[in-house]
């Protein structure tokens, strides 16, 4: 049996957890899921091949506490003895499984794209934010692994029954709750956030200056897009780190990512390869970004970007 840690928020299952379920199913064993907090979202999991949903219930679990979540997992492990535990490669997924791995002295493979059952389990995992892959063998049981976001497609199963739902009370102790969210501060977001934008207009060294981003902002406004940038731009102080797209910035998955004057270092590609389509605007026809882009326009972005803005306005009027 494969146990999958599923994340949910206000009754809807996180898309990345559904992707994790798809990878778990590929191992060929029955799949069971664990939810923390409430059973609200449990029912929908049947369509994704889950036979039983285990819901950890305890009022102390109201706020996220990674060690407490890990305790829920280890309690289940003891009881159910799955051959593997899978989570999405989200911040929480990786964190919780790392806690489980540390507690049980087991190896843990983060951000996998493929797994093959066996002893040891063979897997392919992501390095350098996705620019490189590692084929590895996991010497431990149960196998602990997380699934790299947007590398496996979520899929529903035809004719699946609704899952059985069982709640359980994990044996939490004070140490498990030492690290727990104490406060949550809402930030007033001005504009669309990078993580949620459907279109992102992003600028790199080629934009030339902080003021140079004006033409990108204009285009972004027209498209209801967010404005992003590469690491060079934040280092130069032209834009804040919150705008940075990249391996160490925000990883984005818009429908369209427009990269203006960005050369395409792997650190940046790692952040934007989740995009459905990438359009590169660059003066250098040999820039690395073209190897990762779907479309390209070669030339001076200070001429091209305003031309696109103008063309868009014209097209909208007609």
Partner 1 sequence: MLAGALALTVALAVSGYLFGRRAKLLADLVRLGKPVERFDHVPTRIRNEAEIVLGQRKLLQRLVPGLVHAAIFWGFLVLFPTILIAMIGAVDRDATLPWLGHQGWFALLVDVFAVLVLAGVIAAFAIRKIQRPARFEGSHLGEADLILALIAGIVTTLLLWHAARIALGLNEWPASWSPVSDALSGLFGDDSVTKVLERVFVWAHVLIILSFLAYLPHSKHLHIATAAINVYFGRTGPGGRIEPLRFDVPEEEMRFGAGTVPDLTWKQMFDTFSCTECGRCQDVCPAFATGKELSPKLLIMALRDQVFEEGPALVRGAEGFEPGPLVPNAVTDNVVWDCVTCGACVRECPVSIEHVDHIIDLRRHLVMMDSRFPSESEQMLRDVERASNPWGKPQTERADWGAELGVRVLEPGDPAPEVLYWVGCAASFDERARTAAQSTAKLLAAAGIDFAILGPRESCTGDPARRMGNEYLFQAHAEQNVATLNDAGVTKVVASCPHCFNTLANEYPDFGGSYEVIHHSELLADLVREGRLEPSGGEAAITYHDSCYLARHNDVLEGPRELVQAVGRPIEMERSRKRTFCCGAGGAHMWMEERAGLINEERAREAAATGAETLAVACPFCTVMLDDGVRANGDGLRVADVSTLLAESLDTAGRGQSP
Partner 2 sequence: MRILVCVKRVPLTGGRMVLTADEQALETRHLGFTISPHEECGVEEAVRIIEQHGGETTVLALGPPEAEEQIRETLAIGADRGILLATDGEEWDPHATAAAIVTTIGSEEAAGGAFDLIVFGNESADSGNYQVGIRVAHALGRPVVTGLKGLAIEDGRARCEQEVPGGRDVYLVPLPAVVTVLEGINLPRYPSVPAKLRARQKPVERIEPERPEPRLEKLRLVVPAGQAKQAEILGQGPEAAPAVVGVMRDLGVM
In the numeric block, the tokens 């059985």 are attached to 164
Told to check if 214 binds partner 1 by CB under 8 A, we report: no
Q: Phi first, then psi: what are they for 76, rounded to 5°? A: -65, -40
Q: How far is the CB of 49 from partner 2 (least distance, A)?
A: 26
CA angle, residues 146, 83, 60, in degrees to nearest 5: 60
For partner 2 (CB under 8 A), the number of binding residues is 99
Binding mask 123-162 for partner 2 (x = CB under 8 A): -x-xxxxxxxxxxxxxxx-----x----------------
Quickly tell me which residue has 């004070």 as its tokens: 174
Q: How far is CA 78 from CA 53, 134, 170, 307, in A?
A: 16, 30, 11, 63
Q: Which stretch binds partner 1 (CB under 8 A): 11-19, 112-120, 282-290, 304-312?
A: 282-290
Closest C-alpha to 290, from 244, 267, 252, 259: 259
Contact segment (CB under 8 A) with partner 1 among 113-121, 128-136, 137-145, 281-289 equals: 281-289
Nearer to partner 1, 171 or 210 (CB): 210
Cβ count near 220 (within 10 Å): 23
Size of the site for partner 1 (CB under 8 A): 16
Binding mask 89-108 for partner 2 (x = CB under 8 A): --x--xx--xx-xxx--xxx
Query: Residue 160 phi/psi, 5° resolution?
Result: -80, 150
Interaction partner, residue 78 (partner 1, partner 2, none; CB < 5-8 Å by kind): none
> What string marks each residue from 287 to 316 as x (binds partner 1 by CB under 8 A) or -?
-------------x----------------
CB of 297 to partner 2, least distance (A): 4
Give the contact letters, 247-276, x = binds to partner 1 (CB under 8 A), - = no.
----------------x-x-----------
Beta bridge partners of 257: 200, 278
Which of partner 1, partner 2, none has residue 62 at its interface (CB below 5 to 8 Å by kind)? Answer: none
Residues 229-248 that bind partner 1 (CB under 8 A): 232, 235-238
Q: What region does 194 belong to: left with phi over 0, alpha with psi -120 to 50, or beta?
A: alpha
Instruction: Centre a 10 Å sphere on the Cβ of residue 113 and count the other Cβ atoms it contains.
Output: 18
Whether the CB-CB separation of 101 and 67 falls below 8 Å is answered with no
Binding of residue 119 to partner 1 (CB under 8 A): no
**Taking CB under 8 A as the rule, does residue 74 contact partner 2?**
no
One residue of 62, 116, 164, 298 binding partner 2 per CB under 8 A: 298
Angle between helices 301-317 and 214-223 (to 10 degrees): 30
* Secondary structure letter of residue 245 according to DSSP: B
Q: DSSP string spanning 90-104? A: SHHHHHHHHHHHHHH
- From the list 164, 209, 221, 241, which residue makes contact with partner 2 (rule: CB under 8 A)? 241
Q: Which residues bind partner 1 (CB under 8 A)?
A: 208-210, 212, 232, 235-238, 263, 265, 283-286, 300
């Amino acid at each position: 049996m494969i146990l999958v840690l599923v994340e949910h928020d206000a009754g809807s299952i996180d898309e990345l957890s559904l992707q994790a379920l798809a990878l778990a199913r590929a191992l060929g064993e029955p799949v069971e899921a664990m939810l923390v907090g409430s059973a609200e979202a449990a029912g929908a999991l049947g369509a994704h091949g889950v036979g039983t949903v285990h819901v950890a219930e305890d009022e102390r679990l109201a706020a996220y506490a990674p060690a407490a979540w890990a305790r829920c997992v280890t309690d289940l492990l003891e009881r159910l003895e799955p051959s593997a535990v899978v989570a999405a490669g989200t911040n929480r997924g990786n964190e919780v499984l790392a806690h489980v791995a540390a507690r049980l002295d087991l190896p843990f493979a983060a951000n996998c794209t493929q797994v093959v059952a066996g002893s040891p389990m063979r897997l392919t995992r992501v390095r350098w934010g996705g620019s490189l892959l590692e084929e590895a063998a996991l010497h431990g049981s149960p196998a602990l692994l997380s699934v790299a976001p947007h590398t496996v497609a979520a899929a529903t199963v035809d004719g699946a029954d609704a899952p059985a739902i069982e709640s359980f009370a994990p044996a939490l102790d004070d140490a498990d709750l030492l690290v727990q969210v104490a406060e949550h501060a809402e930030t007033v977001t001005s504009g669309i956030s990078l993580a949620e934008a459907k279109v992102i207009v992003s600028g790199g060294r080629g934009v030339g200056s902080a003021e140079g981003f004006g033409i990108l902002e204009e285009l972004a406004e027209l498209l209801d897009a967010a404005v992003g940038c590469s690491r060079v731009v934040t280092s130069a102080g032209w834009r804040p780190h919150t705008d940075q797209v990249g391996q160490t910035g925000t990883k984005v998955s818009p429908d369209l990512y427009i990269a203006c004057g960005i050369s395409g270092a792997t650190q940046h590609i790692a952040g934007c390869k989740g995009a459905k389509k990438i359009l590169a605007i660059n003066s250098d026809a040999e820039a690395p970004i073209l190897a990762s882009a779907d479309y390209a326009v070669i030339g001076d972005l200070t001429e091209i970007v305003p031309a696109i803005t103008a063309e868009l306005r014209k097209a909208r009027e007609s």
